[in-house]
Amino acid sequence: MAHGYVSYEIVITAIVVKDGKYLITQ
C-alpha cells in the first residue's frame, strides 16, 4: 500500500515538473 502511494506521488511530481518546464519554455 505504501509502495503504491509513493508511485502515485512520483507521478504527480513528474506532472508538476513537466508543467513547470512547459510554463518556463513558454
Which three cell numbers, joined as nine digits, stand for 21? 518546464
Q: Structural domain tally of the chain?
A: 1
What pLDDT digit, counting tens, does each position of 11-25 carry? 888 888 887 776 666
Give the domain range for residue 25: 1-26
Residue 19: the pLDDT is 76
Instruction: Check whether 1 has a pLDDT greater than 70.
Output: no
- Helix, strand, coil abundance in the chain, percent, nearest 5: 90, 0, 10
Instruction: Check whether 5 has a pLDDT greater than 80.
Output: no
pTM, two decimal places: 0.44
Which three cell numbers, joined as nine digits, stand for 8? 502515485
